[in-house]
Amino acid sequence: MGLQVIKSKIYEIRGHRVMLDFDLAEIYGIETRALNQAVKRNIDRFPEDFMFQLTQVERKMMSSQLVMTSDDEKLAAMEKTW
């Protein structure tokens, strides 16, 4: 995956540059569910402000910014940012 593709997956939310969970999972070649489970199992290894859960308003805002085709279930599951 090229640098430009990765850069295109970085968004600004709450004044922070972040990546969405499903984009980060795609970069690592794993399912979003697996990424979130791994983080949850190892939460003590991350700083407190490492991630946050999107509000419904933020999710709607992001969904209007993202160009989705058949990935509607990814959008529905979008919850966390890093």
**Model confidence pLDDT, tens digit, residues 29-49:** 999 899 989 988 999 998 888
Whole-structure pTM value: 0.71
Per the structure, the complete domain to which residue 45 belongs is given by 3-81
Domain count, the chain: 1
The answer to whether residues 82 and 50 touch, using CB atoms and an 8 Å cutoff, is: yes
The answer to whether residues 3 and 12 touch, using CB atoms and an 8 Å cutoff, is: no
Q: How much of the chain, in percent, has pLDDT values that exceed 70?
A: 80
Residue 68: count of CB within 10 angstroms of its CB: 10
